[in-house]
């Protein structure tokens, strides 16, 4: 009798069972961020650029997302430089750092390290120190590129990390100033034009000192942030061979060496 009553109740107007609400998007685990992980979602992804690589040098960027990397295969495919994630915030170090950083060096590549910034949890100076101490330093050996500040969409919350545009610019300056004091080099800035406009107000003040690594998966680099007339590195695809994330250095291999030498 009870079962029949329940069945009747579910057939009455306004009493039909309600489907559960769609679950909220999952927030990734801290430390799992990597270069360009928000590019496709925010800026989309177009086709690949023309195959002509005149005056450009092929490279890759990697993180724990790629795990152990097949460096000999990348070298054989004409990849000549690499950047790998060393740190994030002040609590994460890439467990694959040694295999990736030393592996690239072992096959003859020029390599460097990058830091994924999380401005909502500590100062720029503190994160720069953590980066240098965690593998993001520099040496004048002709094979080590200066470090990179990866500043882009927040995968864990508010896109601009809860900071005003002025606060964000101050945070970036704090990081860059500390990195220069620790290493003697200007760090590169990895960012996307749309994020830079939204979160810094298209601040132009770093273009004269810090090389630009512009994030855009498309056939051209597109519009650059204010202050930069040209990009130094361009990640043109996230679906390239072997590791997916492939880059083009805006110059010959000799120019890559020149950046490494300072």
Quick: pLDDT tens for 10-32: 343 433 333 333 334 578 787 65
Q: Is 185 inside a domain boundary?
A: yes
- Answer yes or no: 61 catalytic: yes
Q: What is the mean pLDDT of the chain?
A: 87
Per-residue confidence (pLDDT) for residue 61, from 0 to 100: 97
Per-residue confidence (pLDDT) for residue 255, from 0 to 100: 97
- Answer yes or no: 150 catalytic: yes
Q: Is 171 inside a domain boundary?
A: yes
CB 43 within 8 A of CB 194: yes
Task: Taking residues 170-197, report their average pLDDT.
Answer: 98
Per-residue confidence (pLDDT) for residue 29, from 0 to 100: 80
How far is residue 93's CA from residue 193's CA, in Å, rounded to a whole number? 27
**Which of the following is catalytic: 43, 58, 88, 150?**
150
Q: Is 96 inside a domain boundary?
A: yes
Q: Is 6 inside a domain boundary?
A: no
State pLDDT tens for residues 133-168: 999 999 999 999 999 999 999 999 999 999 999 999
- Could you give the C-alpha distances from 147 to 3, 116, 190, 219, in angstroms and in order? 68, 11, 10, 26
Q: Is 12 inside a domain boundary?
A: no
Per-residue confidence (pLDDT) for residue 20, from 0 to 100: 31
| Bridge partner list, 84 | 62, 113
3-state secondary structure 66-117: HCCCCHHHHHHCCCCEEEEEEEECCCEECCCHHHHHHHHHHCCCEEEEEEEC
How many distinct structural domains can be found in the chain? 1
**Which of the following is catalytic: 61, 88, 129, 245?**
61
Task: Taking residues 183-192, report their average pLDDT.
Answer: 98
* In the chain, % of residues over pLDDT 70: 81
Per-residue confidence (pLDDT) for residue 171, from 0 to 100: 98
Nearest CA among 205, 209, 250 for reference residue 226: 205
In angstroms, the first-to-last Cα distance of the chain is 84
Q: Is 18 inside a domain boundary?
A: no
Per-residue confidence (pLDDT) for residue 234, from 0 to 100: 96
- Answer yes or no: 76 catalytic: no
**Which of the following is catalytic: 58, 129, 152, 247?**
152
CATH number of the domain within which 161 lies: 3.20.20.80
Per-residue confidence (pLDDT) for residue 133, from 0 to 100: 98
Domain that holds residue 98: 35-47+56-261
**pLDDT confidence bin for 37, thresholds 50/70/90:** low
Per-residue confidence (pLDDT) for residue 36, from 0 to 100: 57
Nearest CA among 155, 189, 142 for reference residue 40: 155
How far is residue 88's CA from residue 32's CA, in Å, rounded to a whole number? 9
Per-residue confidence (pLDDT) for residue 170, from 0 to 100: 98
Q: Is 30 inside a domain boundary?
A: no
State pLDDT tens for residues 93-137: 999 999 999 999 999 999 999 999 999 999 999 999 999 999 999
State pLDDT tens for residues 73-100: 999 999 999 999 999 999 999 999 999 9
Q: Is 89 inside a domain boundary?
A: yes
Per-residue confidence (pLDDT) for residue 28, from 0 to 100: 75
**pLDDT confidence bin for 34, thresholds 50/70/90:** low
CB 167 within 8 A of CB 203: no
pLDDT for 256 beyond 50: yes
């Amino acid at each position: 009798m009870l079962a029949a009553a329940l069945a009747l109740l579910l057939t009455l107007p306004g009493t039909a069972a309600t489907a559960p609400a769609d679950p909220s998007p999952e927030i990734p685990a801290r430390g799992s961020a990597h270069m360009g992980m928000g590019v496709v979602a925010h800026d989309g992804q177009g086709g690949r650029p023309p195959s002509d690589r005149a005056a450009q040098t092929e490279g890759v960027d990697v993180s724990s997302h790629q795990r152990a990397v097949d460096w000999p295969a990348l070298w054989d495919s004409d990849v000549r430089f690499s950047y790998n994630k060393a740190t994030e915030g002040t609590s994460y170090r890439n467990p694959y750092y040694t295999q990736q950083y030393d592996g690239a060096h072992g096959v003859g590549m020029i390599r460097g390290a990058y830091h994924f910034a999380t401005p909502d949890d500590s100062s720029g100076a503190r994160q720069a120190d953590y980066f240098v101490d965690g593998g993001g330093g520099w040496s004048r050996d002709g094979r080590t590129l200066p470090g990179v500040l990866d500043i882009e969409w927040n995968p864990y919350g508010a896109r601009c990390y809860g900071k005003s545009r002025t606060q964000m610019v101050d945070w970036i300056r704090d990081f860059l100033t500390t990195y220069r004091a620790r290493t003697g080099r200007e760090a590169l800035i990895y960012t996307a034009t749309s994020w830079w406009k939204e979160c810094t107000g298209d601040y132009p003040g770093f273009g004269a000192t810090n090389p630009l690594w512009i994030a855009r998966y498309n056939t051209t680099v597109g519009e650059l942030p204010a202050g930069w007339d040209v990009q130094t590195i361009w990640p043109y695809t996230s679906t390239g061979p072997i590791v997916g994330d492939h880059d083009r250095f805006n110059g010959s291999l000799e120019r890559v060496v020149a950046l490494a030498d300072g």
